[in-house]
Structure 1
Amino acid sequence: MGAHVIEEDSGCQLRWNHNSAYYPELVSDAALRGGSALDVGCGDGTLLKLLAGVCEHVVGVEVDPAAARIAAGRVADSGKVICGDFMATQDFAPESFDTITCVACLHHMPLETALVRMAELLRPGGRLLVVGLSANRTVADWLLSALMVVPARMSGWLHHEGTYQGMRVAQPRESLGEIRAVAGERLPGALVRRRLYWRYSLEWTKPFTVQS
């Protein structure tokens, strides 16, 4: 579907949840390069606003119009938000970004195609940083998922867990093993790790082209 840029001012209040728990490390990683950052599935723009504090220019993509309006207001002085489908929008040129983040959004898209598109949009030396959800397929998956219940509940209670209204929810389709396999084929050298709060992280640095 088509995409359009939304601009509207709004304040920013950080809510702790299983996604925002990873924001500090994403922002710290992006700060090493500065430059431009793209947040795929930026939601209400909380992470995007934090990235704006360490990057010269930020862009968010969000399919939900209400969330996109809030996000746009938060970065009105340092970037923009495109309301639309990341896989459909034609607003980006190849190798446009130094950092691309994607938090709890990759499972809403076709895995392989989305990873390839993000890789194309990164500049050489740029970093793709994904925090995602995976499906439980093996006995080990289910066991490790069960072991996360207590620390996740305790952390949520201690940090007064909250999310923004209207957050889209979908069940992940691929297992962590399947995600590792696709990443290994399409993003050689990618590091995929199981993390707390039923999340995994994927980190990849786009290599510089070797001149012959």
Structure 2
Amino acid sequence: MPDYWNHNTAYHPWILRAVAERPVRDALDVGCGDGLFLTRLAPLVDTATGLEPDPGTYERARVRLADVDNVTVRPCSFEDWGAGAGSIDLVTMVASLHHMDLTGALEKTRELLRPGGQLLVVGLAANRSATDWLFSGLQLPWVRLFSALHRESPDIGVPVAEAEKSLAEIRAEAERVLPGVRVRRGLYYRYLLRWVKPG
């Protein structure tokens, strides 16, 4: 299966740089899509699990990762996936958090992570304020330029959903559930969230 570039894969290097800063035994990629990110994450971790609830997308991920020995893909949602508290070193979510209940997903991640483990999110937020619209408008020329240069593949045939919460709402809830979290705006109408569990 070929690689491709879009507004989500543009941030794979950001995640991989953060992952490389500390040893990772067990990683979890929530909403792993067709598995492209997991192929890039696999060399940096001992084991990785991808969760993908959409049957067709799960099958694509399974095929892509069939020969990657340290990666397993499960056909289930994050909500339905069971694992012991403090059993994961890394949780990643690339354009998947807005598909889930924000509070529930953040709270479950907080419980799953071992002390020193980290959560890395490339997320989508809704434009609700004048500031949100201003940032989106200012990005437009750069987004069009880089999308053309990289020959963007905007539709890769996976389920999509519109974001409902604004960045301000996401930041406020993340700060409540994950003290010390860092949330910032990114290019391509994305935000970046990073949290390291104390301990």
**TM-based fold match above 0.5:** yes
How many residue pairs match? The answer is 196
| 1:60 correspondence with 2:42 | no
| 1:14 correspondence with 2:14 | no
**Unpaired segments ≥5 residues, structure 1:** 1-10
Counterpart CA distance in 2 for 1:107 and 1:42 is: 14
Secondary structure of the residue aligned to 1:148 is helix
Deviation at 1:166, TM superposition (A): 2.3
Paired letter, 2:62: A
Contact 1:127 1:205 (8 Å CA) reproduced: yes
Paired letter, 2:97: L
Counting only pairs closer than 5 Å after superposition, residues 1-212 of structure 1 correspond to structure 2 as 11=1, 13-32=2-21, 33-76=23-66, 77-90=69-82, 92-163=83-154, 165-208=156-199
Counterpart CA distance in 2 for 1:87 and 1:131 is: 19
Deviation at 1:164, TM superposition (A): 5.7
Give me the CA root mean square deviation: 1.3
Runs of 4+ in 1 over 6 A off after TM superposition: none
Contact 1:184 1:190 (8 Å CA) reproduced: yes
Q: TM-score, normalised by structure 2?
A: 0.94
Counterpart CA distance in 2 for 1:114 and 1:149 is: 30
Deviation at 1:64, TM superposition (A): 1.2
**Unpaired segments ≥5 residues, structure 2:** none
Residue in 2 that maps onto 1:8: none
Counterpart CA distance in 2 for 1:163 and 1:80 is: 26
Task: Name the stretch that deviates more: 148-157 or 29-38.
Answer: 29-38
Counterpart CA distance in 2 for 1:70 and 1:119 is: 29
Q: TM-score, normalised by structure 1?
A: 0.88
Secondary structure of the residue aligned to 2:119 is strand
Residues 112-160 of structure 1: per-residue CA shift (max 9 Å, x gap): 1111111111111001000100011111111111111111111110001
